[in-house]
Structure 1
């Protein structure tokens, strides 16, 4: 659950009274005019009683202005977003809390929170008077089918007195950000590589394989097996040291996302590009649950997590990649050379690619990337160009060693994932 964020602040709450008098309604202005006319008539006719009536008529709206002007600066508000990160098509709740910190009751309050049109209509609420120190809370829902990062706020507040004489507005500065993540499809439990922990034959490695000289010992702890005592370190440090337990290194998986503008046609939640982004997010989430160390690389050379990333566990890495996929857009690049350069010298492990339309230049760059990976599967956006052309490019990608499948609109990724596993098993190349 997202925390509560205060949204107090905004325009100068101690602004001149002249601005406050600008909030007089038609009724308030009429009372002022009637009071002035009564005072003039009382002076002209010499009627002191009429003067008292005029003063009363004019004093009422003035008093309402003074009270509301003071109350406006004594109203605090806070917003809580639950949750702050949602998948496309899911709902989030926004909780608004308004508190009267003044010593006098507030008047009628009208709340309006600014939200982008893709999240729905602007919510509006009417709150009755709030007692001194009292608070009110209202809730509304937001939903988006399009991934992205959207601002919520600022909150606009309008106060009105019980007599309808004055309406004063106040706009807060603070706003919150709602992150809409790509749609994540559940993939079948079949594996494109390794066992359930990401350690298949040929990929299960331990620290001990590096040799005795590369082992980093640690201090002896009560209960440690004495057979694991590292005598060389013990003699060097002067205290009992033992070898660390053999710890298997997790298998690696690299998800390649093609963002070239020329590789995709159309726009909208069901466009080929959005299907590719959703597929990449689904693959990242699935491989993380399978125990893999997962990286995301794009055609622009962006690598997440990068060498300077401070994310420490799988949850942080998944959040980092998903946040990047939430706002990723088309790139002007026309090739895969930057992605190839980003993976140079990196153990890419199993390579899973989500590609747009590929030409001869991209095929020439994808071939060497396959050679550096323990296995390669490509889901290629189809249905954009001539079927014969797309079939030829798919065949050439398969000849380069990729397990390539056409991803047509309306075809679930789970079905293609199952098909890829079957093709790998049938060809004798899987699981990786």
Structure 2
């Protein structure tokens, strides 16, 4: 997104504050020469004093005018990247002052600490109507949204008498998404009700009494007009088109702070977030209707669409995962309440450490005959205790796998596929 801004012209009094030590010395020397010329009656000394005093003032006027007429634009490519990937930032400066070139320009773009040191550039004079472009790269191993900018600009005259600063107001946002791991095509189950091999079913509408007509829209075929409903409503109604019922899947992400014992890019929580992002991207690519639910009951995307765009849905979920943080909850009551409003279909959960009470709450999330797979972060507790806690979920019909840092999610996905198919 372009980052451009302009700044209102400040009073000359503020511009005079940009005089350097050399510029102030010139003013003082000019004033002293003027006083001496008056006392001694030396007109030549007066001309020298006037030159010394007027030179820094002239530089102030020129830079003050130039500063307000320099425009800047920022281009971020791409604006959304995965953690560990780079993005290039291009800064373009343009001098729109007629007939007046700029002096030396010093640029500094504000970037968060997580993206690296602040980039600084020195740009030589820009002729009237000219442009200059500089670029730098940013990357982060931490997901999140990071503001880039505003750009700070410092102008200096060729004599080093004046330095004026300007700060633009506009900024761009770089979104760092969780890492997405490619997953194998091995299905975990799920038809339109959450079961099967991932095919689609079609809701056929035949007959006059078993359909739900909708309002007529411009361009609809008149042969699809439902006359009985039109007469009843007093407006044209048409039969709905056959609509495919997509396989449904709910990805559950455990964000409870008490479920994880560490932080950082390689923590178990980040592993769970990355796993959820990988599952969402994989399932959407296989044409599932996917939504993400956290332990608190938060849902992404927030609203279900009649004909959702898979690319848009995936983007909304990944953007939400880029900024998801720990919750202070103790269990999964919020998730259970949210999922009770609609059949969740296949449930794929990425969990932290799960105690007895949360395990009981998770048991109710699995629908009768539906699939439920849990990837539980391992390596945080005693191995025997972790196994007992995972066994609680298995007893309630879940397929449970230990998600260890040294085992890829792709391997676990294949193992889960074999278990859910009874192989």
Normalising by structure 2, what TM-score?
Answer: 0.91
**Structure 2 partner of 1:14:** 9
Matched-pair contact (CA < 8 Å) for 1:8–1:78: no
Query: Cα RMSD between the aligned structures?
Result: 3.1
Question: What does residue range 3-82 of structure 1 map to in structure 2 within 5 Å?
Answer: 3-9=1-7, 13-82=8-77
The 3-state SS of whatever aligns with 1:301 is coil
Question: What do the CA deviations read for 1:113-137 (whole angstroms, capped 9, x no partner)?
Answer: 0000110110111111112222212
- Residues 210, 300 of structure 1: alpha-carbon distance in 2 compared, 3 angstrom cutoff: farther
Structure-2 change in CA distance of 1:408 and 1:237 (3 Å): closer
SS at 2:365 equivalent: helix
Query: 1:343 deviation in Å?
Result: 0.5
Q: Distance in 2 between matches of 1:178 and 1:309?
A: 27
Q: Among 340, 348, 361, which residue is 1:344 paired with? A: 340
What SS does the corresponding residue of 2:189 show, helix, strand or coil?
A: coil
Q: 1:352 to 1:47 in 2, by over 3 A?
A: same
Q: Indicate the SS of the match to 1:392.
A: helix
The reply on whether 1:380 has 2:405 as its aligned counterpart is: no
Task: Report the counterpart of residue 176 of structure 2 in structure 1.
Answer: 180
Displaced runs of 4+ in structure 1, greater than 4 A? 201-204, 209-212, 216-219, 228-238, 240-245, 308-311
Question: How is 1:163-242 mapped onto 2 (pairs within 5 angstroms)?
Answer: 163-194=159-190, 200=196, 204-208=200-204, 213-216=209-212
- 8 Å CA contact 1:340, 1:365 repeated in 2: yes
Asked if structure 1 preserves the Cα contact closer than 8 Å seen for 2:183 and 2:409, the reply is yes
Q: 2:257 aligns with which of 261, 265, 289?
A: 261
Shift of 1:50: 1.4
* Separation in structure 1 between the aligned mates of residue 89 and residue 197 of structure 2, nearest angstrom: 49
Listed one character per residue, the Cα deviations across residues 152-205 of structure 1 (whole Å, up to 9, x for unaligned) are 11110000011111000111122111111111111112111258xx98469753
Indicate the residue corresponding to 1:430 in structure 2. none
Is 1:366 paired with 2:355?
no
For residue 100 of structure 1, the aligned residue among 86, 95, 105 is 95
* TM-score, length basis structure 1: 0.89
| TM-aligned CA distance change 1:384 to 1:40, over 3 Å | same
**What is the CA distance between 1:16 and its match in structure 2?**
2.2
| 3-state DSSP of counterpart to 2:243 | coil
Larger mean Cα displacement after TM superposition, 242-251 or 275-284? 242-251
Q: Count residues in correspondence.
A: 420
Tell me, what secondary structure is at the counterpart of 2:182? coil
Name the residue aligned to 1:272: 268
Partner of 2:280: 284
Separation in structure 2 between the aligned mates of residue 296 and residue 373 of structure 1, nearest angstrom: 21
